[in-house]
Amino acid sequence: MPIPKDFSAFIKISAKERALSQLQRWIIDGTLIPGEKLVDTELSDALGVSRTPIREALQILEIQGFVEIYHGKETRVTKIEKDDILKIYPPFAALQSLAAELATPMISNEQIENLKRINTEFSLLLDRGQPYKAMELDEEFHNLIVEVADNSYISSFTSTMQKHIRRFKYLFLKHVRTTEQISVTEHAELIAAFESREAAKTMMLMKQNVMRPMWELYESIETNSFRQE
């Protein structure tokens, strides 16, 4: 029996990849706090790999905007403040809206069924009071649309932006209480617009669905209510 060589369960993940995703997780969930100094020798001890993959991971994190490397001096987790939310959301919304536009003529019935399934699950998790899980389903909903849009430039950028948004929620909200049931309704409207193939409508609804939480978040945050070096 022929076994495919790179069957996903057996893909070997490199030390660099491990370091990258671990550091990313730590920065997003606040284990590594904004402004914290990162020393590669310490990180390499902590993660059990040498300094090289750590450094490579840090370079990538710098490009993604999660750390700042002061040439020859030091490396720190990027700071973040309340008003940053106003900078992150608009470009994210613009590309999500574009993704919706591009997806409108492309989306299959099967994929629409999938969106419905995700939205039902999303609603259920909100009812059950599982906001973290619900957030993940919301992300899944949006990512499926990006996938349908089939544009690697959009997907790579939105994936990074989504991580920044997630970090923001983790840092500023003790309990992620985003996206109330109104989002479920918006999703349903969006799905209906996909079904009737109204691109202008999907664009508008998508923009709304992304931007509304921005204002809710912004107003629910007291200034300086967050940990920082």
Q: Where along the sequence are the contacts to its own copies (CB under 8 A)?
A: 14, 16, 52, 55-56, 59-60, 63-65, 71-72, 87-88, 90-91, 94-95, 97-98, 102, 151-154, 156-157, 161, 164
Nearest of 60, 58, 47, 63 to residue 15 by alpha carbon: 47
Residue 105 interacting entry, from DNA, its own copies, none, C-beta within 5 to 8 Å by type: none
Nearer to DNA, 75 or 179 (CB): 75
Nearer to DNA, 53 or 131 (CB): 53
9 binds DNA (CB under 7 A): no
107 binds DNA (CB under 7 A): no
Alpha helices in the chain (DSSP H): 15-28, 40-47, 51-64, 85-103, 109-127, 131-149, 152-172, 181-195, 199-220
Amino acid at 146: V
Select the residue interacting with DNA from 41, 181, 225, 228 (CB under 7 A). 41
- What burial letters (b/e) apply to 85-105, b meaning 16+ CB within 10 Å? beebbeebbebbbbbbbbbbe
The token pair at 28 is 């997003």
Shortest CB 53 distance to DNA, Å = 4
Shortest CB 70 distance to its own copies, Å = 11
Amino acid at 142: H
Got the DSSP string for 12-62?
A: PPPHHHHHHHHHHHHHHTTSS-TT-EE-HHHHHHHHTS-HHHHHHHHHHHH
Contact segment (CB under 7 A) with DNA among 47-55, 90-98, 132-140, 181-189 equals 47-55
Q: In what order do the strands lie in the sheet with 67-70?
A: 37-38, 74-77, 67-70
Contact segment (CB under 7 A) with DNA among 44-52, 102-110, 116-124, 178-186 equals 44-52
Give the span between the Cα atoms of 35 and 32, in whole angstroms: 9
Q: Binding string to DNA for residues 59 to 78, with x set by CB under 7 A, is what?
A: ----------x-xxxxx---
52 binds DNA (CB under 7 A): yes
Shortest CB 74 distance to DNA, Å = 5
Nearer to its own copies, 122 or 201 (CB): 201
Scan residues 11-30 and list those touching DNA (CB under 7 A).
12, 14-16
The token pair at 81 is 């403040």
Residue 151 interacting entry, from its own copies, DNA, none, C-beta within 5 to 8 Å by type: its own copies
Contact by Cβ (8 Å): 135, 169: yes
Residues engaged in binding DNA (CB under 7 A) = 12, 14-16, 37-41, 49-53, 55-56, 69, 71-75
